[in-house]
Amino acid sequence: MIWLLVALLALIVFAIAAFAFRLDRALWSSFAAALAFGLAGYAWQASPDLPSAPKSAETGRQQSDFDIVAQRREFIADRERSRANLLVTADGMARMGRFSDAAEFLNGITQQNPRDFEAWLALGNTLVEHADGALTAPALYAYRQAATLAPEHPGPGYFLGVALIRQGRYMEARGIWAEALANAPENAAGRAGLEERLRRLDAMLGAASDPTAEQSASPAEAGE
Mean residue pLDDT of the chain comes to: 79
Q: What is the pLDDT of residues 151-165, one digit of tens each?
A: 999 999 999 999 999
Q: Are 92 and 67 in contact (CB under 8 A)?
A: no
Q: What is the pLDDT of residues 4-34, one digit of tens each?
A: 555 665 567 556 655 655 555 655 565 565 5
pLDDT grade, residue 211 (50/70/90)?
low
> What is the pLDDT at residue 41?
47
Residue 82 exposed, middle or buried by CB count within 10 Å (0-12, 13-18, 19+): buried
Does 152 map to a domain?
yes
In this structure, the answer to whether residues 107 and 7 fall within a common structural domain is no
Q: How many domains does the chain have?
A: 2
In this structure, the answer to whether residues 10 and 78 fall within a common structural domain is no
CA distance 52 to 202: 55
Percent of residues, the chain, with pLDDT higher than 90? 60
In this structure, the answer to whether residues 180 and 107 fall within a common structural domain is yes
Q: Which domain holds residue 94?
A: 68-222
Q: Are 148 and 173 in contact (CB under 8 A)?
A: no
pTM beyond cutoff 0.85: no
How many C-beta atoms lie closer than 10 Å to residue 130's C-beta? Answer: 22
> What is the pLDDT at residue 205?
87
Does 50 map to a domain?
no
H-type helices in the chain, by residue range?
A: 2-15, 28-45, 68-74, 86-95, 99-112, 117-130, 137-149, 154-166, 170-183, 191-209, 219-222
